Structure 1
């Protein structure tokens, strides 16, 4: 667990953002977003099994197994009301969990999500990614490819470090299996409000992918918000915009409840 729930002001303490990170990342990608949301909203940002500091997941590396891990964390934290926030790989996991209609879930926010259908990745790209495991130069190249806005050196090194400390079973499992899973048939069970955010300079998951593969499977009226000049790593590149979106989303949910 890289970020414990942050303290929240009275009246907002009942709502927690449960933030799920991207493939080859960790929960600490949400640090700046959490800072912008504090003290009004709590943030829980776990490392998913095999990434960051998390051990191998007991149930395996499938999308449903990761959803089980997140559900167990939510139960352990005794969260009464929460929003699932999924980034890239974390987006697919968030949708799989939301389709179970868990008690306490009030909304889903997706940031450059991996689509419910198989990711648009060629076999050459998959092979290259498999071969890149543990390679410093490859990690640096990936960081440059998936970001568009300039980042401080410290954050660049954090992104690279998270890439390199990923475990090989988790790395391979997503490329060979998780990214290929098709959970589209389950999404008719997602009954809570959703929102999608994407960077217009995302080199690996363009906004058109979300429009074609994800939005048609979400509740009618789900918006797609675009962040100008940003790439794939929105929590790093645009933390203030992400926090503003989540804050607005939470306020909309509260108004709808009342």
Structure 2
């Protein structure tokens, strides 16, 4: 079984709130928000496998594999039902957990979460294909590892580049190709979707698509936040939403 490093805060006898970070990050991204929630909850901050203090899984996992590993880990902590707060990649995993037939998610909080294909215009698709073609042509001519890495930095996203550096390229490619849109109507728990208007990594259109697909969901857009400031400057708003659910009589 793949080890998952965990940091716990708050009260052991209170309802559990599980926090999961984004790609290439670790639990510290969510620590400030978790500390605001801790007086009213059993807070569990995860380092997802391959990040932080958790070793990467041997095979190339998809988000279903991640979800199953998280559940097994929570079983070991004696956690049954829980609230899930997932940022970006952690949002992908949260959607998987909530869509399971026997889902244990009481309330799903998706913060700048990914998981569905981002809509693109015909022009954007044409530009993307041309850019990819140029990259492949230059890649075929690269004669050294350094030259290849430099090309990836020029043509790839920051996460794509980093995935090589941390030895997670296979998992990165597998998970970003997923589209969970067909599974989202299976989510029956209340779901809160929080997105920053200035987010270019998972822009509001992604959150709106997820909102349309999940029956019991609410969509909140924060005008001044981007992909990461929604966790720092927006931490009080996220924490307030979680606390409202905890104080509303969660089981």
* Interval containing the TM-score (normalised by the shorter chain): 0.7 to 0.9
The equivalences for 1:174-213 within 5 A come to 174=172, 176-211=173-208, 213=209
Deviation of residue 134 (structure 1)? 11
Contact 1:107–1:193 (8 Å) recurs in 2: yes
The match for 1:229 among 212, 224, 243 is 224
CA distance in 1, matches of 2:102, 2:199: 31
Unaligned runs of 5+ in 2: 121-127, 136-147
> SS of the counterpart of 2:10?
coil
Aligned length: 223
> For 1:14, what is the secondary structure of its paired residue?
coil
Structure 1 window deviating more from structure 2 (64-73 vs 50-59): it is 50-59
User: Structure 2 matches for 1:68-79, cutoff 5 A?
Assistant: 68-79=68-79
Residue 54 of structure 2 corresponds to residue 57 of structure 1: no
Q: List runs of 5+ in structure 1 lacking aligned partners.
A: 144-162
Structure 1 residue 39: Cα displacement:
1.2
The superposition leaves residues 35-84 of structure 1 with CA deviations (integer Å, 9 ceiling, x where unpaired) of 11121112211111111121112553211111111111111111133111
Equivalent residue for 1:217? 213
For residues 150 and 238 of structure 2, the distance between their equivalents in structure 1, rounded to whole angstroms, comes to 29
How far apart, in 2, do the equivalents of 1:75 and 1:60 lie? 23
Alpha carbon RMSD of aligned pairs, Å?
3.3
Moved more, 234-243 or 92-101: 234-243
What's the counterpart of residue 140 of structure 2?
A: none
Alignment of 1:155-170 (within 5 A): 167-168=166-167, 170=168
User: For 2:47, what is the secondary structure of its paired residue?
Assistant: coil
Deviation of 1:16 (Å): 1.2
